[in-house]
Amino acid sequence: MRVLEIIHNHIHPLVIRCLLLSARRLLAEMIIIDEFPFKFVEYQGFKRFVNGTLTLVEPNFVLPSRKTISKDILGIYDSTKEMLKDIFVKEGYRVSLTTDTWSSIQNMNYLVLTAHFIDKDWKLHKRILNFTQIDNHRGETIGKEVEKCLKQWGIKKVMTLTVDNASSNDTAIAYLKKRFKHGLVLDGEFLHVRCCAHILNLIVCDGLQDINDSLVRIRDAVRFVRSSPARLTTFKKCIKKENIDSKSMLCLDVPTSWNSTYLMLEAAVKFEKAFERLEDYETVYMNKEEKPTTRDWEIARIFTNFLLVFYEVKVFVCYFQYSLPCE
């Protein structure tokens, strides 16, 4: 402690202040990057850590409250936004946009707008420009909100706008073509880009309709096993009896998410014999009409191989999308 005190006395106060301001900035950035709640700064463990480190350098250092750290984060957002706006205005980059809308469980409508552009060093960037609440999902409403956002950012040159296949997006595109006709390539002929991930979803969901009966029976069987710890324990005994060597276990899908359906089928087909043996242990097991048949398992096995191709494509698309820098 005596050594730290001597060092502290010989450091210029301005240097200490700069170090503490830098530490506070890094703290705000840590909360942003790791998505911690603002109240993280009030956690006892974190307070002990700070009191044991920063206060050794500056005894008068006060850990910011959740209200103060939220202001710091808002300040970082404002400064970053102004810097990015300055780049768009001065450099005049032509941007490609993606947008999507959805409703929360509170029935509130939201829209997100993301810009993709290549800088002067040929580096590809992705920036979320806006995340806002909107009145509805009508095409004109979406178009007006996108127009408002682009004007706020000073963006005048748009290459493409990628959206899903909802009919309202056709109206939104038509609206934007009128408003940005002087900043579009080839009069906006190629402005409208349909989302490949959404098209992929439509293809797979349409194919799943052909095996819906088999899918429902397998899903119900998986749900039966996972409905209680006792049934799951019994099922594990069946796996052991059948000498099935698999590190994976049954997972229940979300019917509206085909990739989770693929993961469910991929896991379930490995345990076909275990499901058959389950009848010997469970007296209340599903009746003949509800439980999966041999034909159902054959269809599931074939369809799993089919879905694997689409699943790998979706993983690749998502990896490429989220591997882009997005500050």
Residues 209 and 314 both lie in one domain: yes
Residues 225 and 189 both lie in one domain: no
Note whether 258 and 205 are within 8 A (CB): yes
On whether residue 326 sits in a domain, the answer given is: no
Residues 268 and 295 both lie in one domain: yes
Note whether 222 and 264 are within 8 A (CB): yes
Q: Provide the domain count of the chain.
A: 3
Helix/strand/coil for 163 = strand
Going from the C-alpha of 79 to that of each of 46, 86, 285, the distances in angstroms are 27, 11, 62
On whether residue 199 sits in a domain, the answer given is: no
On whether residue 327 sits in a domain, the answer given is: no
On whether residue 278 sits in a domain, the answer given is: yes
159 residue type, one letter: M
Helices (H), 58-100: 66-91
Residues 109 and 186 both lie in one domain: yes
On whether residue 258 sits in a domain, the answer given is: yes
pLDDT at 171: 85
The residue from 30, 56, 78 where one domain ends is 78
On whether residue 52 sits in a domain, the answer given is: yes
pLDDT at 9: 53
pTM reported for the whole predicted model: 0.64
169 residue type, one letter: N
Residues 73 and 142 both lie in one domain: no
In which region does residue 236 sit, left (phi positive, over 0), alpha (psi from -120 to 50) or beta (all else)?
alpha
CB-based contacts of 166-170 (< 8 A; 24+ apart in sequence): 166/137, 167/139, 168/137, 168/138, 168/139, 168/142, 169/139, 169/142, 170/139
Domain of 182 in residue numbering reads as 92-194
Residues 55 and 159 both lie in one domain: no
Distance CA 4, CA 103 (A): 55
Distance CA 317, CA 323 (A): 10
Residues 219 and 316 both lie in one domain: yes
On whether residue 283 sits in a domain, the answer given is: yes
Residues 111 and 42 both lie in one domain: no
pLDDT at 14: 62
Strands 109-118 and 95-103: antiparallel
Residues 215 and 287 both lie in one domain: yes
On whether residue 22 sits in a domain, the answer given is: yes
Distance CA 176, CA 143 (A): 6
Query: Would you write out the chain's pLDDT as a tens digit for each of its 327 residues?
Result: 444 454 455 555 565 567 677 778 888 888 888 888 988 888 888 888 877 776 665 666 678 888 888 999 999 988 888 888 888 888 878 888 888 888 877 888 898 899 888 888 888 888 888 888 888 888 888 888 888 888 888 888 888 888 887 778 888 888 888 877 777 778 777 788 887 777 888 888 888 887 888 888 888 888 888 888 888 888 888 888 888 887 788 888 887 778 888 888 898 889 888 888 887 776 667 676 778 888 989 998 988 888 888 888 877 776 655 554 444
The residue from 173, 194, 215 where one domain ends is 194
159: domain CATH number is 3.30.420
